[in-house]
Chain A
Amino acid sequence: MASYDTCLARVLDVLAPLTKTGAPVSASSDLVGELGLSSIDVMEMIEGMEDEFDISFPLNNLSAIRTAGELASEIARLSA
């Protein structure tokens, strides 16, 4: 089980080199609107997280996720 803080730290690490806009990355960063990630970027990032945290991330849950913090929350929930 991974804590929210652990997941968030990892999400922010992975996001930093992926951003297209140069905007600073934080828990409230909007993945698509603010950081400029494409749907493919998001899916590939999630694939990495699945391996790292030994989770299966349902696509159904993706549409409700907008920010880095929300993504970290979901990963923490799935790893519980």
Chain B
Amino acid sequence: MSLLDKFIPMTEVRAELAARGVRPFGAVNEKIISPTEGTIGGKRVILAGTHNYLGLTFDPECIAATQRCVAEQGTGTCGSRMAAGTYAEHDALERELAAFFGRRHGIVFSTGFSATMGVPATLAGPGDTILMDSDSHASIYDGVRLSGAEVVRFRHNDPANLAKRLERLGEKTKDTLVVVEGIYSMLGDMAPLREIAELKRQYGFCLLVDEAHSMGVLGKHGRGQAEAAGVEDDVDFIVGTFSKSLGSIGGYCVSNLDQTDAIRFSIRSYLFTASSTPATVASARAALRVLQARPELRDTLWRNARMLYNGLRDLGFRVGPEASPVVAAIFEDRETAIRYWQGLLDQGVLVNLVVPPGSPSTYSLLRASASAAHTEEQIARILEAYANLRLRDAA
């Protein structure tokens, strides 16, 4: 077997989809018309597969801040955060994020992936243990593997299963990092943080929560699932991204622990990559202001999320365990999922296709995301497109 033979299965899958004229992975948005509309193949489509939860990608304040910043500070920093790439914008965003989350320390990364991968990779090391939810994001899987710690999964959203693993660890729970997500990216369900916080009080582990999909979505102030569950004081580290509710790109970690500065200078994905462009940081700062100034965006988001989730459920689709802005329709059969993905696109609706091994189990998913910028009419059109496919199958 040669070095590159391992890519044969992927090559075959790509060829099979291309032969069928289906392009679910990397469909090109030729023109972006608004936060919720674009064109693909020359045809106008509703964007229902982005995580633009608050719809801020075209917010006038965010655009103005971005334009002003690029004109004043240039297109890039050409340096890492550690070496000449820290501008006043990065510094300000770190302070503003820490204040938003009510923490003493904040770290800004160039991407969400580098934050959610880099922080767990650095916090734990050889001799430590990481217990992670089995539905964790790929970045967390990569991070825990890089850490050198012993890594054990627990069953998705199952505190009793986590407790069993903690019990087996005995005294080692003090050297254990538990990693969970506020909202899970595949099925849109939420971590049972109240129960997990109780376990933390009992066993004394360190708790990291990835609020990538829940910042701006959950909690009275939009601080995520830790706020919604009333357990913020139990969470040692919060990580997340600017590429969802904040409509930009970048990642963060916030904490109250005084070791955070030393941790910052130990995270390789922070140290050895170029810092974010000043303009992307400026847009994240502006979006953070909008998120706080306009809590009604969360109400609109949830109205749309419930309409989409309840609508799909009522149409007879198998959906995730609870309503959230991530709305997944679950298909046992990969072929049906691929056919439905194309059928939706043909009707002007773009969602995400997820097939094994990218999905949490052997099933496939059509994953849609609601946005505060979707109109009720757009959500109704999305549901109509799903319904048409159902009717066609029943005929």
Contact = CB atoms under 8 A, between A and B. Distances in A.
B155 interface: yes
Given A40-B362, A41-B362, A58 B357 contact: no
Interface stretch (B146-154, B277-285, B375-383): B146-154
Given A47-B155, A56-B165, A58-B151, A40 B145 contact: no
A59 B145 contact: yes
Interface residues of B, number: 16
Contacts of A54: 164, 168
Interface in A12-55: 38-41, 43-44, 47, 54-55
Contacts, number: 35
B259 interface: no
A57 interface: yes
B74 interface: no
A60 B134 contact: no
Contacts of B155: 47
A57 B356 CA distance: 22
B2 interface: no
Query: A-side binding surface: helix, strand, loop or mixed?
Result: helix
Given A38-B362, A40-B362, A57 B152 contact: yes
A56 B155 CA distance: 11
B139 to A, nearest CB: 15
Contacts of A47: 134, 153, 155
A38 B357 contact: yes
Contacts of A57: 152
B151 A59 contact: yes
A15 to B, nearest CB: 15
B11 interface: no
Interface string A49-80: 00000111111100000000000000000000
24 contacts: A38-B356, A38-B357, A38-B362, A39-B357, A40-B357, A40-B361, A40-B362, A41-B362, A43-B134, A43-B153, A44-B361, A47-B153, A54-B164, A55-B168, A56-B152, A56-B164, A56-B165, A58-B150, A58-B151, A58-B152, A59-B144, A59-B145, A59-B153, A60-B150
